Amino acid sequence: MATGSSLFSLQGETALITGGTRGIGQYVAIGLAEAGADIILVQRSTASTETKLAIEKLGRKAHIYTADLTIPSDVSRIVPSVLADGHTITILINCAGIQIRHPPEAFPDADYRAVMGVNADAVFTLTRDAGAHMLSLPPSPATGRRGSIVNFASLLSFQGGLNVPAYAASKGAVTQMTKAFANSWAGRGVNVNAIAPGYIATEMNEALIKDEERAASISARIPAGRWGDPEDFKGGAVFLASRASAYVSGHTLVVDGGWMGR
């Protein structure tokens, strides 16, 4: 039986991650590499190489595959392309996401579809395709594990937010599909879980951060006394991707400095 740090080791694993060029996704990709995994980065273009170079400096392999997650045909070819090149996917991290703000009564159909496409539809397709591949892999002799999938949800999986009805709908969908896939696959060696970030100081929350009154009210409610940092997600991601979470299934891990408990 694995003990201590070996429970969190990702040596010999290969993780496919979306949204790894910046923010939370970048730190998660680097955190997985620090734990020993090789990384496949799904990006809109090959122009951004910062994450790839950081991973390679750790002595791990990093590959970039290009896809536009707003285009269904691009999403559907990701896993087949990766497998055709001889890679084995044992970890999937669905971290890419977009947020568009409008008053609900004036929310455009096109913006609703764009948010749902990236935040929910792409997550469904990649989870289905990577999961099907993982189910075909031989199980670990020690744990029966074949793979781990971690989807990024949000506090708005549980709350409605303000002027973000599409984002809230998409993140609610993420938590529910996480449970649905987990129910079918947990007994077959593929764990599916999610992480729900709280208020994190990233580009996505720039509008909130610039609204001094709203930012102050948010900070006042967070028991930890600060907004989160993207680096705060390394540990949770490694935990859910590793054998340390072998008996965790269909769970959404809230990383919010205590916001939901307030």
- Residues 50, 29: Cα–Cα separation, whole Å: 11
DSSP string, 159-201: S--SS-HHHHHHHHHHHHHHHHHHHHHGGGTEEEEEEEE-SB-
First-to-final CA distance of the chain: 38
Which is the catalytic residue, given 27, 65, 167, 199?
167
What are the C-alpha distances in Å from 11 to residues 58, 149, 162, 241, 246? 13, 17, 42, 12, 16
Helix (H, G, I), strand (E, B), or coil: what is residue 223?
coil
Measured CA to CA, the distance from residue 74 to residue 82 in angstroms comes to 13
- From 37, 42, 47, 44, select the one nearest 17 (Cα to Cα): 42
**What span, in angstroms and rounded, lies between the C-alpha atoms of 245 and 86?**
27
- The sheet with strand 38-43 has its strands ordered as 62-66, 38-43, 14-18, 91-94, 147-152, 190-197, 252-255
Angle CA 138–52–86, to nearest 5:
30
Give the β-pairing of 190-197 and 62-66. Answer: unpaired
Q: How far is CA 105 from the centre of its chain?
A: 30
Q: Residue 66 phi/psi, 5° resolution? A: -95, 140
Reply yes or no on whether 167 is catalytic: yes
Where in the sequence numbering do the catalytic residues fall?
167
